[in-house]
């Protein structure tokens, strides 16, 4: 799990834990078979959104890719955009984890 802007990698790891994704996350790149890299961005609610929409929730965008470190091939990529994210980065991290889980499950079925 490579470092990402705003510490998004820790939210993805927490998402993997919560969604019980069958992977072992390691902190040393040397011990890994795959590497997850990505970017994330948060957009805070402005006064107009609060006034007209009554919402103070953030908009979250994130994009990740998983690379096989042996072959160098990108084996999975996913991007998420959550407008009015209920739980901020946590929601985006869990969305990423959910889709990684689906990718892994599809491989076996």
Partner 1 sequence: MKKFVLVLGVLLMAAVMLGQTSEPATASKVIPPKAKVFISSMPDGFDEYLKNAIHDKKVPIEIVGEKDKADFEITGHSETQKASTAKKVIMWDWRSNEQASIQVSNLKSGEVVFAYSVNKPSSAHGKKSSAEACAKHLKEKIESKQ
Binding site for partner 1 (CB under 8 A): 1, 6-8, 10-11, 13-18, 24-28, 31, 42, 44, 46-47, 50-51, 56-58, 87-91, 93
In the complex, the smallest distance separating the C-beta of residue 100 from partner 1, rounded to whole angstroms, is 14
CA angle 33, 38, 43 (to 5 degrees): 155
C-beta separation of 24 from 105 below 8 A: no
19 Cβ partners below 8 Å, 6+ apart?
A: 94, 97, 98, 101
Considering beta carbons, is residue 1 or 67 the nearer one to partner 1? 1
In the complex, the smallest distance separating the C-beta of residue 39 from partner 1, rounded to whole angstroms, is 15
In the complex, the smallest distance separating the C-beta of residue 53 from partner 1, rounded to whole angstroms, is 11
Name beta bridge partners: 66: 36, 76
């Amino acid at each position: 799990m490579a470092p990402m802007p705003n510490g998004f990698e820790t939210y993805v790891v927490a998402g993997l834990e919560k969604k019980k994704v069958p992977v072992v996350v390691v902190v040393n790149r040397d011990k890994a078979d795959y590497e997850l890299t990505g970017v994330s961005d948060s957009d805070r609610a402005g006064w107009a959104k609060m006034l007209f929409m009554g919402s103070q929730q953030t908009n979250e965008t994130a994009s990740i890719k998983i690379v096989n470190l042996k072959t160098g091939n990108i084996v999975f990529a996913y991007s998420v955009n959550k407008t009015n994210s209920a739980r901020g980065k946590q929601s985006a991290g869990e969305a990423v984890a959910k889709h990684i889980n689906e990718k892994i499950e599809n491989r076996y079925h």
